[in-house]
Every structure is written in C-alpha cells, then in structure tokens.
Structure 1
Amino acid sequence: MIASLRPLSILGLSALLAACAGQHGSGLGELPSSPPGSIAQLLQQAEQSKPQQALLLRLSAADQALQQHDLAQAQRILDALPLDTLAPAQQMFASTLSAELALARQKPKSALQALQHPSFARLGELPMTQQARSRLARAGALELDGQTLEAVRERIALAKLLDARHSQDNHETIWRLLSGLSSERLDGIADTERELAGWKQLLKLTRSNASPARQVADIAQWQAANPQHPAALQLPLAVVQLQEIANRPLTHVALLLPSQGQLASVASALRDGFLAAHYQSGARGELKISLHDSSQLNNLDAFYRQARSEGVELVVGPLEKPLVNQLSQQAQLPIPTLALNYSEGRQEGPPQLFQFGLSAEDEAREVANRAWADGLRRAVALVPSGEWGERVLAAFRQDWEARGGSLLAAEHVDQPVQLAQQIANLLQLRDSENRARTLQAGLGSAVAAQPARRQDIDFVFLAATPAQARQIKPALSFQYAGDLPVYATSHLFTGSNDPARDRELSGIRFCETPWLLGSDGEGLRSQVVGQWPAAAGSLGRLYAMGADAYRLAPRLSQLQMAPGVRVEGLSGSLALAPGQRISRSLPWAEYRDGRLQRLEPSRQ
C-alpha cells in the first residue's frame, strides 16, 4: 500500500519543481514553461505554432496531463514527440516525464531506463528546479526497485538542490529508507562516504541496547562530534521522539506471566530474557519491575485495578492466548499493555494493547520477501497438515500473491509414507510417466524415457520440523527436483548445528532469529547462555523475545507515532504492523555440507 502511494507524492513534488523557461547553456536548448490553458488548448496552440514552439507546448501539455494523473494522455503526447531530434534540455525534460509516468505505473526499471538517456550527462547545466525534479524521479525509481542504498545516495545529492521545506521531507525520507535496512547492510557503508556514514552512525546509536536516556546522551555526543552534518543540524523526527521518551522514562512495569501449567517453561525463558536485558541496560535503579503470576489470575479487571493503584505504567504479558483474547475484546485498557502472544482473528483491539510473539506467519511473509528479492516468481509449497500449517500457508499465499508471485500448488505433509506421492503430485511427475506410457502404447514398443518434473517452478516454500525436513530434501532429489531452491521457516532448525545429520538439509535457505545465528546483542547473549545454557538451543528464541520485550517497552509510543521506526532486536528487526502487532524481519542462513552459512541480506 505504501509503495503504491510513493509515485503520487513524487508527482506532487514535481509539480512544485516546475521547470523555468529560457536558454540554458550553449546548445542546451530551451525548457518548456507553464503556459496558461488546458491540455486541449495547449495542443491546439501547438498545431498553429512553429516547430520549436510546438515542441515546447506539447511538452507542457504532457507535463500538465501527468500532474492531473491523466497517464494515458501524457503517454500519447510523449510517444508522438521525436525525442532524438529534441535539444538536450528538452530530451531531459521529456525523459523525466517518462520516468514519472513509469513510476506512477509501478514500473521502476522502466523509469531508470528513461533516466539513462545520454542527454543527462548535461543535467548539471539545467536550472536547479529541473535538476531536482530529475534526481527526485531517479531516487523514487531506485527506492521502488529495492535499491535502497542507491536511493539514499541519490537523495543526499538531491538535498543540495531543494528549498528548506522540501529539504525537510527529503531529510525524513533518507532516515526512513536507512531505518528499513538491516544492521548488516548498514555495516557495509564505508566511512569514506562521510555524509552517509554519519547517517549510519546516528541510526546505529538509536538501535543500541542502551536505555533511552543513555541513547540520547550518546546522540548528543555524536552531534557535538559532527556539528555540520545535516542530521545533526536538524534531528530526524524519530530521534526527537526518542528524546521525548527519555524525558518521560518508565518507572514501573508489571511482568505478567504464568508460573504453573504447560506454559511455565516458556514463561520462565521469557522472564529471564526480560530481566537479563534490564540488568544489562544500566537502568536497575530507575525502573521497578514487579512480577505477577497469570496462572493464578481470576479476574483481569481486578488485576488492572490493583496494578494501577500501585503505579504500574506498563503491563508486559500475559502469555496465555485466552487472556490475550479477553484483552483484545475490550474497548479500552486502563494501562498500556504489551501482550506476549497474538489474539485470534485480526479484529482491532483497544488502542492501549500491543501484541508481540514469535509468529510463524511473520516467517512465512519473510520467505515471500526474500524469494521475491532473489528474483523468484513461481512457488510450490510443502506445509504440515493441520491448523498451524493452514495458517502459515495462508500467510505465505497472501503476501506472495500481493507481490505478484504465483503459488502453483501446495501439499500438506503428514505421514512419511505418503511423502513420495505428495512430492510427485506437487511436481506433476505422474503426468510425465503417463505421457511416456501413452507414447509407448502408441508406438507398440519400449520407449527410453526418464520421468521429468514440471519446469515452471522457481522454488519450494517449506514449513516443516527438523525430522520432516530431513525426509523432504532427499525426497525432492529422488523425485528429480534436487536443483530446486528451497526457502524455509526457522522451524527446521533445532538451534544447534549437527553436520552429520544436517548434511541432508544442504541447500535449504531459512530465516532465523539473530540470537540463534550468533548475534550477541552487545554481550547479552553470552551472559544469558553462561547462566542458562539451554538458551544456546531452540529455547534461545524465547530468551531473545523476552529481551526484546524489554527493549520495546519504553518505545511503544514512538512506534505508534512513527510507523517507519524499527527496533533492532535479538528475535528480529521489529516494527509496528496493523492492529498494533509487532512484526519481525529476520536474517537468513543456508545449510552447506551440513553446516550453517549466514547469508548476505537481500537488497530490499
């Protein structure tokens, strides 16, 4: 949805950056002005004018049609212009219009191609307004094409051409684009790119595990060391909001988790991760954390009344889905609450309720994002039988098809004995065998034919347990599909690497929490694993989630006010999604000869 609105905002700013008429440079030619009259009147005047004036009038008419979002009319006018015979200034103007048209149609590659016209070698000779318009189109095309860092570089160059008002919009866009990048992508920015490196340094300070007060102090030191940097002269809105948070620190959080029942061990890991992050933050004396047992809870209303009377400012929990469902059905909550699970359904809950968990649906969407960024477009799916598998498949299908991908087929894995048949169905191997039998019957003699899988599949989406995955990958090879890329959720990873057993998984790419892929969170993971060795295995995901719940706690209002803000956590890169649910973006790894290999982030 956001991406579809960007071209319109580009067109709106382009209208304010309308080119000035006049001669510009030796042999550069004249730019069109903004003459009065409708599109029809301008085209009629062009019919009655000399050739050079007619060209300028038609360019003005095409520009006006574009600003009015009459894309078809603008395209017809541009198509009728002899681009190769125009003066360089007019070629750049027409090519910029073509790029803006392509952006309005969600075609960034076409826009970039239009902006590669040889005439742009002289862009610096045009008036600043036209330079800004062309560079703005290029920045928008790079962003829409997933070339985020290149879009940022273009906007840094663009900033020097903008007035104060548009410069601020550009400033915030640079921050938004960089905020969407993983820490690994940011680390790839060289210090020699001084202005871009300054943006990187500031962003990384906002992503540290320190308390908001410590972060604000570090940011002030960065400003003092970089007094002329654009972001130091005018801090991005998200940083200003962080300063406001630091000025209103949380003083009392209630941690509401069960100490008994089947969720007690899960709750214990979450609680230990939360408290470990608290001790590491240095805010021990500033924040009171009271522990409450949700397994003994009879009445949520009574709990909130007591918590409010004790000065609790935020509730973290509950974990139990029935309790989260109860909270989601309330119109209002007396205290802001970060639930550690998701309610059933997608209905809007009260404005004070935030929901955070290790959602399998997030991982399915992460697979769709990575596969699309890798240039894959046609998928088949293997998911477990049952309600969980249906939810994961539905999340993948919805996100994948919204991007324009095709889900060609899906199979639900249940009994291992059926696995060969299910994969054969998925790959349409039986169709190939039937064709061979038909040909053999027609010829009346034996035919040498090897079964062939369908050739229109780009990759397999896999959601499976480790045991299932160890059967599925060899079965794909047996069924003539060993070359098919497999993209999986984290559920196939036990949390520890066993090369002898995991060799069967070689070639599978999967998303996983930063915690289990080795990110240390400024030493927090090492401290936790040293005290609770189980945190090094699959339980580590829960310790990471508990630590991230602590990091989210003071920043919930910031996430509400600025939806583009992300918190770089140990369970993933966290952002606020619709319904006030915390969504996670995850790093990637691949099995190679049974060993894990961390993958480079995708461009997007």
Structure 2
Amino acid sequence: MTRLIVVFIMLFFLISCSSGPSNQPQTIQKDQTDTVRERVDKNSDYYLQQAQLANSNQDRRSLYILAAKQAISEGQSTITITAILNAVDETQYNSVGLDIELAKALLFVGQTERAKNVITRVQQGAPSQRFDQALRILGVQLNAQQGFSLEVVRETFQLQSLYQGRISSSDTRLLYTLLWEHIMSVPVSTLRRFQYDFGEGAQAWVELVAVIKTNLANATALPRELNRWKNLFPNTLDYQLLPQQVQSLLNVEPYAPQRFALLLPLSGKLSKQAMAIRDGFLSAIDFNNSSDVLVLDTVLLNVEEIEQQITENQVDFIVGPLEKETIIEYENSDVLRTLPRLNLNIPEIMPTYAGQEVLPAYYYSLAPEDEIEQAIEYFLELGVDRPAVIYADNTLGRRLYERFNQAWSLATEEPVEAIAFRNRSKLGDAVQDLLDVSASEARIAEMKKLFGNQLETEARSRTDIDAVYVIANSQQTRLIKPFFDVSISAFGKRLPIYASSRSYLVDESVSQKRDLNGLVFTEMPWLVRNSDPQLHDLYDKIGEQQTQLKKLFAFGYDAHKLVFALKQLTILQDQHILGLTGALSVNSNNTIKRRLSWSKYQQGAIVEQSTPQQN
C-alpha cells in the first residue's frame, strides 16, 4: 500500500510538471475587469488582438472599451477611436467602471447621444458612491458638448469644491480645459454669483475672467493685473495644468510701442481717404500718452527713404500701408519686415518668408467680404433654407455674389439662386424674374386668351425663397426694396430682405429711411448707434459728412486701438474687443475679423437688433 501511494504521488508530480502553459486565448472574466483596466502597460493593439480572440461577447465588449481608452491616451485619431467604439454595443453592460470609460470615450469622439444613453443607464442603476466624482465629470463633459456654458461653469466649481485635493491630475486638466472653453462666454456679473458659493477655486477663475475682459486691450494694465491675480491666488490653482491659452496669456508682453510709423498715400488719388484714416488714428491717442507718430507719405517717398526715416526715428511699430501692391512691396524690405506691423489691407496672396525670421504682420481692412461671411452665418442661425441674391452687374457686385455663393455652397452643399441687374431701368424686371412674377403674368395672358378679359386674375410670386440678400449701393437699394414690396402676391408671406452697409448713408432723411422700411442691414456700430458723441463732434470739425470718409476715420481710430490688443487676441481667437468699426478679433492667419451690428429700418428710424429677425 505504501509503495502504491508513493508511485501515485510521483505520477501526479510528473504529470503536473509536464503540462505547459495553455495555448488557449486568455479571456477576461467579469470579476477580473478592474484588474485588467489598470494594466496601462498594454497598448490599444494588444486589447484589439485580445478582443478578436475572446470567447464571449461580454469579454469582447470589455476589451474594445479598454482599447478605445488606451487609444485616446496614445493620441490616436478620432477616426480610429470611433471605429473601435462602433464595435461596442452601448445597450449591453459589463460594469459601472467600464461604462464610465465607454461614456468618456464616446464624448471624446463627439458621440453625445450614445454617451448620454450610457450615463443615463448608469445613473438609473444607483451606482456606488465611489463613482460619484467620475459621473459628475461626465456630466460636465456632456454639458460642454451640448453648449450649456453656464452649467459647465457651475458644475465644475461644485466639483472643485466637493473634491478639493482629491481630483487626479488628468481629470483636473480636463476640467480646467472645459471650464476655460466656456467661462469666457458667461457675463462677469453672472459669474460673480458663484464667486463665494464654491470656495477659493471659483474666486480665482472669476477674477481671472474679470481681469481679462476688463483689460484685454490695455497693454499696460493687462500684465500688471494678471501679475496681481497670480499673487492673490498663489496656490489655489495648479498652474502647470492650466490650458495653454491661459499660460500664454499669463506670460504675454503686449505691444506697447512708443514710436509709431503711419504709412499712408497722403498724395494722389487716395489722399482724401488716407487723411481720414490719419485723422482717426491721431484722434485715438490719449493726450496723456507719451508715444510719437511719424506720418509718412507712401506716394512721395520710396521704400529706401521710408526705411531711412524709420531707422533714424527708432520706430518700434508700423501701421500701414493702405494699398495691396504696396504691402507686397514693403514685405520684401529687410528693414520693414523686422518690425511688428499692422497692414491696412489684405493682399490677394499672403506673403511667405521661406523660413526667414520675421516679426508678425497683421492685416486689417474694411473689406465688404466680411459682411458676406457674417450674412451667411446669420442665415444659417435663422434656419434660412433657400436664400436668393440680387446684385449689381459690375465688378464689385459680381465679386461679392461669387463670395456669397461659394460660402453658402460650402456650408450647405447647395448653390444660391441669384439674378443680376445692369441698370436702374432693369431693376423691376430683375425682381419679377427672381420671384417668377413674369412667368405668372404670362400664364394669366394665356388664360385670358382662352376665357376672355373678364376673368379675374392676380399674378402670384413664388413662395420657396425664404430670404433675399441685396448687393447694391444705397440708391439702387432704395429702388429695389419697393419692387419687392409690390411684387409679393397677397397669397405669399412677407419676404425678409437683407443688405450690406453699402445700402446705408449717414445723412439719410426720414423719408429715405421710410423707403427702406423693413430692410435689415449690417453697419458699423458707431454709425447706427451714434455712440461716443464727443468723437462724432471731433469728426464733424475735421472731416466731411460723407459715409465713406466717416467709416475710414473709424478705421484709423480702431487701428490704433488694435495695436495694443493684437498679441492677446492672437492667443484668444474666440474673444474680441469692441471698436467703432465692429467687434474685432484675430483669425489664425493674423487677419482681423470684423463683426458688424445688425440694424433695421423701422417707421423712419433705424433700430439696432441683436440678431436679424424674420418677419
């Protein structure tokens, strides 16, 4: 018996030693999920391969979620991550922890509705309190994707207050990013209500926003106030985790030039326009400002002479020139392009420097194309499906119509219906052709041939157009608007008509305003609000009461104001400063974007509107 027991033990030992590792795929059991989720040393490919080998749908689902999570941390493209997530059935369930990871990944690629469904299911299951922080962070992300800025701010402040010191670095960085993306769109007066409800973290953010909004265009005050802010809250926020925009702003040194060179064609065919710009620029300088302005005539002086003047006078910032071809010429100057400069036009082809060291050049203009882009944005906001354009058949009219058509087609993949007119006598025909009134009248004539002239008829206009944009000057617009009023049939709804600032004159009479009753148009806020009456008085003393010259005066005024905000606006491209010519921001190509005011002719007066209205 003893020998048999010994033999049995030896056989068992030999069999155990001889059995190597199984060649079967290692699958993940439900109770092993949390352990595998923490194996960050595995890359996304590893989890994808394991998912292909998994024996059950549940294991496969777990592995795909882990693959998506790892792909995000690896910086994979959203296309790759989306492809992984498309293999996951969000209606199924593995664990609360994995559902949270799934919702995070879905929000990362912008699949808001799927993420919403997952979050709702988790919340309905009354999850353990240990998941509360993660679910709150998901709530912030969800509100951010839905554009609920106020909710993002409030919930982030609440999170920071509840879990102070207990939020991971990665989640803190995420919350800072989401908060920064939304907090600047909330008025400071609203933010003040949260300032003392959620602790020092909320106070720090509210004060930061107030400092930026108050001092954005003040090159002297902004760095001083940002430094004061850092001293007030030295340990409140983790500065290393702040978004790059905030860190750049905290270290920015705004342009604060002491010697300007203003380059304008003060002689020749553009002299009147150049003088209006010059007067506006000089009017913007505070009497207590110690800066000097060197005004140079780009017609009388060649490039070499301008270079010499700028060097001798130790100029540290250039404003101008005005003409597109002159900008290109000056950009080739080794002297001029080493200084920061605000060009007063935008060339057709932007200069390139082939890797040469040059200081930034900015481009600011009163290009009518800005208003075309703004009109497209507003039409899309209003839900306009089929706009029509009527335009003057000249060089400018055709150029602006082409811009409108290109922008609309790009946004909607649909062309714009349009009609051109060559002269005033053809305006009525153009309007009737656009509205198909002519075709209706032709059908009526045919009917009368068949049934006699006693037949009661009324021409009908088409009803599929839901807005008209007019590209014409003020005189042409005054003729066009009544044609639309009389051409719309009694059966048709009132057609909203929009136009650019070219339809407006500063010295319009009350009767002229009545002729355009109902027309909605874009214009510089300074002209339609009559804001800053002292500046209007100053202009009246030095300028002529002409619309174009008054606009150029405002253009020069804003050029001076912009210089001190250029670096800040370059960092904060979603922010703007309010100027006489509109709300001014900086695009990624260093061009200044203008957003004008919408106004409406109403009972012989002009009423400013926050958004264009359909009637």
Work out whether the TM-score is over 0.5: yes
Q: How is 1:416-427 mapped onto 2 (pairs within 5 angstroms)?
A: 416-427=424-435
Letter in 1 for 2:313: E
Q: Percent identity?
A: 21
Which residue number corresponds to residue 199 of structure 2?
none
Aligned partners of 1:380 and 1:407 also within 8 Å: no
Q: Give how far 1:567 is off.
A: 3.6
Query: How far, CA to CA, are the matches of 1:126 and 1:405 in structure 2?
Result: 49
Q: Give how far 1:307 is off.
A: 0.8
Q: Give how far 1:386 is off.
A: 1.9
Structure 1 residue corresponding to 2:512, chosen from 489, 492, 501: 501
Q: How is 1:112-261 mapped onto 2 (pairs within 5 angstroms)?
A: 114=117, 117=120, 119-120=122-123, 125=129, 127=131, 130-131=134-135, 134-135=138-139, 137-143=141-147, 163-164=168-169, 167-168=172-173, 171=176, 174-175=179-180, 177=182, 186=187, 189=190, 191-194=192-195, 195=202, 198-208=207-217, 211-219=218-226, 249-261=256-268
Query: How far, CA to CA, are the matches of 1:167 and 1:407 in structure 2?
Result: 46
Cα gap change, 1:553 to 1:95, in 2 (>3 Å): closer
Q: Which moved more, 1:438-447 or 1:111-120?
A: 438-447
Which residue number corresponds to residue 487 of structure 1?
498
Q: How is 1:507-526 mapped onto 2 (pairs within 5 angstroms)?
A: 507-518=518-529, 520=531, 525-526=532-533
Matched, 1:550 2:557: no
Aligned partners of 1:99 and 1:115 also within 8 Å: no
Matched, 1:327 2:337: no
Structure 2 residue corresponding to 1:572, chosen from 582, 598, 601: 582
Determine helix, strand or coil for the equivalent of 1:249: coil
Matched, 1:311 2:314: yes
Q: How is 1:397-436 mapped onto 2 (pairs within 5 angstroms)?
A: 397-404=405-412, 406-433=414-441
Which residue number corresponds to residue 23 of structure 2?
none
Query: How far, CA to CA, are the matches of 2:533 and 2:516 in structure 1?
Result: 28
**1:99-157, Cα deviation, whole Å (9 max, x unpaired):** 545x26xxx7x5786588465576894636743662464255234xxx65555556656
Question: How well do the aligned residues superpose, as a CA RMSD in angstroms?
Answer: 4.5
Q: Which moved more, 1:152-161 or 1:426-435?
A: 152-161
Which residue number corresponds to residue 7 of structure 1?
none
Query: How far, CA to CA, are the matches of 1:333 and 1:167 in structure 2?
Result: 42
Structure 2 regions of 5+ residues with no counterpart?
1-28, 196-201
Q: Give how far 1:519 is off.
A: 7.5
Aligned partners of 1:490 and 1:511 also within 8 Å: yes
Determine helix, strand or coil for the equivalent of 2:260: strand
Determine helix, strand or coil for the equivalent of 2:318: strand
Which residue number corresponds to residue 369 of structure 1?
377
Which residue number corresponds to residue 592 of structure 2?
582
Structure 2 residue corresponding to 1:38, chosen from 47, 52, 66: 47
Q: Give how far 1:22 is off.
A: 9.8
Cα gap change, 1:178 to 1:513, in 2 (>3 Å): farther
Matched, 1:471 2:479: yes
Letter in 2 for 1:584: R
Which residue number corresponds to residue 14 of structure 1?
none
Aligned partners of 2:577 and 2:584 also within 8 Å: yes
Aligned partners of 1:199 and 1:231 also within 8 Å: no
Cα gap change, 1:71 to 1:452, in 2 (>3 Å): farther
Which residue number corresponds to residue 282 of structure 2?
275
Aligned partners of 2:50 and 2:63 also within 8 Å: no
Q: Give how far 1:468 is off.
A: 2.0
Query: How far, CA to CA, are the matches of 1:449 and 1:410 in structure 2?
Result: 28
Q: Which moved more, 1:64-73 or 1:390-399?
A: 64-73
Aligned partners of 1:327 and 1:353 also within 8 Å: no
Cα gap change, 1:511 to 1:167, in 2 (>3 Å): farther
Determine helix, strand or coil for the equivalent of 2:284: helix
Letter in 1 for 2:294: S
Letter in 2 for 1:326: E
Cα gap change, 1:308 to 1:245, in 2 (>3 Å): farther
Letter in 2 for 1:255: L
Which residue number corresponds to residue 296 of structure 1?
300
Aligned partners of 2:103 and 2:115 also within 8 Å: no
Matched, 1:389 2:405: no
Determine helix, strand or coil for the equivalent of 2:580: coil
Aligned partners of 1:506 and 1:593 also within 8 Å: yes
Letter in 2 for 1:461: Y
Letter in 1 for 2:305: A
Query: How far, CA to CA, are the matches of 2:495 and 2:118 in structure 1?
Result: 36
Q: Give how far 1:270 is off.
A: 1.8
Determine helix, strand or coil for the equivalent of 1:530: helix
**1:424-445, Cα deviation, whole Å (9 max, x unpaired):** 3333344555566778889999
Query: How far, CA to CA, are the matches of 1:494 and 1:95 in structure 2?
Result: 55
Query: How far, CA to CA, are the matches of 1:566 and 1:201 in structure 2?
Result: 14
Q: Give how far 1:252 is off.
A: 1.0
**1:275-320, Cα deviation, whole Å (9 max, x unpaired):** 222126x4x22x22222223322x1133113312321111212223
Q: Give how far 1:324 is off.
A: 2.4
Q: Give how far 1:384 is off.
A: 2.6
Query: How far, CA to CA, are the matches of 1:400 and 1:530 in structure 2?
Result: 41
**1:361-402, Cα deviation, whole Å (9 max, x unpaired):** 111111112222223243221233222223322333333333
Structure 1 regions of 5+ residues with no counterpart?
1-20, 24-28
Structure 1 residue corresponding to 2:551, chosen from 537, 541, 545: 541
Structure 1 residue corresponding to 2:348, chosen from 339, 344, 347: 344
Structure 2 residue corresponding to 1:264, chosen from 255, 259, 271: 271
Letter in 1 for 2:393: S
Determine helix, strand or coil for the equivalent of 1:354: strand
Aligned partners of 2:598 and 2:608 also within 8 Å: yes
Q: Give how far 1:412 is off.
A: 2.7
Aligned partners of 2:501 and 2:523 also within 8 Å: yes
Cα gap change, 1:166 to 1:382, in 2 (>3 Å): farther
Letter in 1 for 2:213: K
Aligned partners of 1:568 and 1:574 also within 8 Å: yes
Determine helix, strand or coil for the equivalent of 1:406: coil
Aligned partners of 2:408 and 2:416 also within 8 Å: no
Query: How far, CA to CA, are the matches of 1:114 and 1:594 in structure 2?
Result: 54
- TM-score normalised to structure 2 length: 0.74
**1:491-531, Cα deviation, whole Å (9 max, x unpaired):** 222135644321232333222223224374xxxx3332222
- TM-score normalised to structure 1 length: 0.75
Q: Which moved more, 1:435-444 or 1:359-368?
A: 435-444
Letter in 1 for 2:341: T
Letter in 2 for 1:341: N
Which residue number corresponds to residue 591 of structure 1?
601
